Structure 1
Amino acid sequence: MRLKSFHAKTMSEAMRMVRQSLGDDAIIVATREEEGGGVRVTAAVEEDDLPVAQESRSRQPSKPAKPVEPEIDVGEAVADALHRHGVPAALAEQLIDAASNLDTDDPCLALGSAIDSMYSFNPLPDGRTAVKPLVLVGPPGSGKTLVAAKLAARAVFRKRSVGVITTDTVRAGGVDQLAAFTRLMKLKLATVEDPDALTGAYAVHSKTDLVLVDTAGRNPFSEEDMDDLRALLSAGEVEPVLVLPAGLDALEASDMALAFKSVGVRRLLVTRLDIARRLGSLLAIAHRARLSFCDASVSSKVAEGLTSLNPMALARMIIPPAEPAEAEEREPQPVSRTKPAVRPTKPATKAKAVSSPASRTLP
């Protein structure tokens, strides 16, 4: 049995597409309304009912049918993956259209090209050249302290001078956690409580290759919290970097990103990719707030560091490569001359080729 999904603006248009593609014998398996408009219809038809299959048997009745690898509809594969990851419908349609413009039968490559055309990528510096102090901002629990430790460790490993400052003096254990990390790296941790003290800390590190500032978590929907953050950022010429975890609700996270963008954020650093299974919120955040992807954390261990994001890295997380066992299933099986060919009980299908679980590591 062959399954295929059709997306259209109206049900009548979707049914017309079903009849044109699968014929009048097609069976409607499922229908659903898409977020943002339109409907998706999934239909099935027996392989024997397909006109192409009948024509083939009539021309060569005496020869066994040659195994054919499953066809992959790139647009449909990209659409299914984006739907599985919870990408908002309007954004998904733009990505699907961009992916369809690339002449390839590889859905991952097509999605990577679409992401490259719609998003910007700007990895964080490691201290090789003079840069503004990096101030890590975000809501409570987003992973800013761990990111500060990872950035410091990366710069130390590359033999750059590093200055680490924390303003997170309210949260219980906030200073102690970062102090434990810096102690292992033999770095001094400066603790400041107000913008004036922060200005002085910047002056102390005026000749340091990389200065990192860990801030307290701020409620992006609280005017008081955001005013405090603006005052902190005005203490020097700095670059605020938004730290957000993966796996959030797409609309909620986008609203957060817009609030932090109002204080000068231009780059998005993603955390908790190791425990997130749906990444649609990341695409929604960067698109709606017009933020550049920079780095990502895929582990809670400081030693495993950060990974720079790029279009193909994101595409492989959304449409991961097929497992070796699945690839073997899709290879045509040789027909024995002494024994009749045995038809597999679970033939490889297009869905099998593209619906493996999301990868937990970045390439």
Structure 2
Amino acid sequence: MLEARTYRAESIQAALLLAKAELGPDAVILDVRHLEPRHLLGGPAVVELVAAPGSPAVQRGPGTPGIPAIPAIGDPVVLGLTALGLSPRFAAELVQAYRQGKGPSRDLRRVLAARIAEYITVAPWLPLGGRMILALVGPTGVGKTTTALKLAAAARTDGFAVQLISCGGDEAHDARSETLARSFGLPFTRAANGVELQRALRMTSGQLVLIDTAGANPFDPRAIAALEGVLASEHVIVALTLSVGGDLEETLEAARRYAPLRPRALILTKLDETRRPGLALGLAERLARPLLALTTGTRIPDDLVSASTPALTELAAWTLERLERRAAVRPPS
């Protein structure tokens, strides 16, 4: 049996270089995982990579005739996906599905969708068959207010009774939110604290109630605790709202700090403000919460995409095509 060895570095690429320097260019990458920073604030992210010397005993065979074998983790396209946060297994299966689906008489979207559905759960945000109270929480600047307005406007267009509640924001923020809400004909109310929020919830009969919370610094335990107190109700579904335009590890770390709020859903915003929208796939997989919606701009409610496997499939296909093109023109090392 070949001995597996573990390497740690600040990135997958750096860890891979260490492994190949010691084990040779044919080293087989067995696993990759992202470790939490060692320090509460400012600690560097660490990647742990497990590899073994190349050998026919551990190399994959040619696979089923006509269907590409699952690519190695060292495949440049797989590396590109893992850099977007996808697990090595999910990344390798997506690349296999993409290459399989591009063959003659293959349905690319179908095979990609089958893989995505195994790793990412999507859920409806419309209150089908009942009432839904959805509270959007997340860091300042991720677009919670705009997203809440988009969801409310889209739901109203579909015939649902909606209610917007701005909770815990400052006076200027609430005034701007109310002006926007009124301009779209959306019912709006303010709640300064948990007591007022509970009163507002009792007074509304809206099928979809959207609670827009003030941005909370995820690294300030007091801010998280205060928000937890405001939203302390079993009827409120907390939706963690994050931008895909930031650093992957910092975004994941921020998400972990919202754990006391027990978020049961995920909304990802600002896919239009990054050159790596594929991060949405990695975040959705890594955070393991049902994905409700994606936002792609500031227009209300137009720049809103309800999360679905077909929508994620289009995003995956675009990302894979881009990574394959980049790998094809990369000069050999």
Aligned to 1:152: 152
**Is this contact kept in 1: 2:70–2:93, CA < 8 A?**
no
Q: Which residues of structure 1 form unaligned runs of 5+?
A: 1-6, 18-33, 40-70, 327-349, 357-363
Aligned to 1:37: 49
1:218 maps to a residue whose letter is: A
CA RMSD of aligned residues (A): 3.7
Normalising by structure 2, report the TM-score.
Answer: 0.69
- 1:351/1:244 Cα in 2 relative to 1: closer, same or farther (>3 Å)? closer
Mean Cα displacement is larger for which, 246-255 or 194-203? 246-255
Structure with the greater alpha carbon radius of gyration:
1
Alignment equivalent of 1:293, drawn from 291, 294, 313: 291
Q: Which residues of structure 2 form unaligned runs of 5+?
A: 1-15, 29-45, 52-66, 103-107
Aligned to 2:13: none
- 1:159/1:78 Cα in 2 relative to 1: closer, same or farther (>3 Å)? farther
- 1:266/1:355 Cα in 2 relative to 1: closer, same or farther (>3 Å)? farther
Aligned to 2:25: 14
Could you say what secondary structure the match of 1:133 adopts? strand
d(CA) in 1 for partners of 2:250, 2:27: 37
d(CA) in 2 for partners of 1:144, 1:292: 17
How far off its partner does 1:73 sit?
8.2
Pairing 1:45-64 to 2, within 5 Å after superposition: none
How far off its partner does 1:92 sit?
4.0
Pairing 1:113-152 to 2, within 5 Å after superposition: 113-125=114-126, 127-152=127-152
Q: How many residues align?
A: 274
Q: Identity, % of aligned pairs?
A: 22
Aligned to 1:106: 101
How far off its partner does 1:160 sit?
1.6
1:143 maps to a residue whose letter is: G
Alpha-carbon deviations, 1:195-225, whole Å to 9, x = none?
11111100111x2211111100011121111
How far off its partner does 1:289 sit?
3.0
Aligned to 2:57: none
How far off its partner does 1:261 sit?
3.1
d(CA) in 1 for partners of 2:328, 2:150: 33
d(CA) in 1 for partners of 2:136, 2:328: 35
Pairing 1:173-212 to 2, within 5 Å after superposition: 173-205=172-204, 207-212=205-210
Aligned to 1:242: 240
Alpha-carbon deviations, 1:289-309, whole Å to 9, x = none?
321211111111113142122
Normalising by structure 1, report the TM-score.
Answer: 0.64
- 1:96/1:203 Cα in 2 relative to 1: closer, same or farther (>3 Å)? closer
Alpha-carbon deviations, 1:168-218, whole Å to 9, x = none?
432x6311222122212223311111111111100111x221111110001
d(CA) in 1 for partners of 2:47, 2:144: 33
Could you say what secondary structure the match of 1:304 adopts? coil
